[in-house]
C-alpha cells in the first residue's frame, strides 16, 4: 500500500516551528528568519501488512518526507529530508 501526502501550514504554525525572531537570533546566533504559510512538506509512505494466521499479523511501513518552502529554508532545519521505518507485530482477539 502506498500513499502520497502533503501538509499545508498557516503562518502562525510556520513562525512557531521554523521562524527565528530578532531576540531569538541575538540569543542563539541563528539568523533571523520569517517563515510564511504554505506547503510544509510532501511525504511518500509505503507499507505492507501480512496476515500470518487468523490472529497474528506483521506490518512494515517506510516513510520518506521532504520539507518544502519556508520549512526547508529555515536556519532551524538541519536536514530537509527524513526517512522513518516501522515494523509491527499484532494479535487480534
Q: Other CB atoms closer than 10 Å to residue 20's CB: what's the count?
A: 19
pLDDT, tens digit only, all 93 positions of the chain: 899 999 999 999 999 999 999 999 999 999 999 999 999 999 999 999 999 999 999 999 999 999 999 999 999 999 999 999 999 999 999
Rounded CA Rg of the chain: 19
List alpha helices for 19-53, DSSP H: 22-28
Please give the model's pTM, rounded to 2 decimal places. 0.80
88 Cβ partners below 8 Å, 6+ apart? 58, 59, 60, 61
Distance (Å, whole) CA 23 – CA 29? 10
Distance (Å, whole) CA 57 – CA 90? 5
Amino acid at each position: 500500500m502506498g500513499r502520497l501526502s502533503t501538509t499545508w501550514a498557516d503562518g502562525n504554525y510556520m513562525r512557531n516551528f521554523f521562524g527565528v525572531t530578532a531576540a531569538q537570533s541575538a540569543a542563539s546566533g541563528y539568523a533571523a528568519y520569517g517563515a510564511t504559510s504554505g506547503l510544509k512538506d510532501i511525504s511518500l509512505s509505503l507499507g505492507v501488512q501480512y496476515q500470518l494466521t487468523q490472529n497474528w499479523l506483521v506490518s512494515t511501513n517506510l516513510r520518506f518526507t521532504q520539507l518544502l518552502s519556508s520549512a526547508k529554508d529555515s536556519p532551524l532545519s538541519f536536514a530537509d529530508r527524513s526517512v522513518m521505518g516501522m515494523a509491527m507485530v499484532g494479535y487480534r482477539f
